[in-house]
Structure 1
Amino acid sequence: MKFSLKYTLFTLILISVVSCQEQSAIKIEALIVEYLNNPVGIDKTNPLLSWKFTANI
């Protein structure tokens, strides 16, 4: 499970860096951790993460 979380976070960071540099039409929006939009802290060892991709096609 740790590999999955690390892979997901790495993928999100990579996509956001690439989209900022190339002015991509794909955006990551509505980032949520444990059903919270802007959490101050997380007590879970395996937090629930969710996000939405939007694209201008």
Structure 2
Amino acid sequence: MNGQAELTEEQERELVDCYAALLRIAETVRVPGVLAASRAALAEVHAAMEGQGLAFDLYSRRFR
């Protein structure tokens, strides 16, 4: 823990970029283990973004 109460703008951007990259992987990969891991990682990033009050599309709506 770094003791910061808020993310910097750069950290917010990196979190959003991470979310977008994981979402692309989760929407396109067909390897079961990778799909499960990418969805789990998305859920963790989702929780972090929600905790910071960042706007984003709910990832589960975008899965087929």
TM-score by length of 2: 0.44
Structure with more strand by fraction: 1
TM-score by length of 1: 0.49
Structure with more helix by fraction: 2
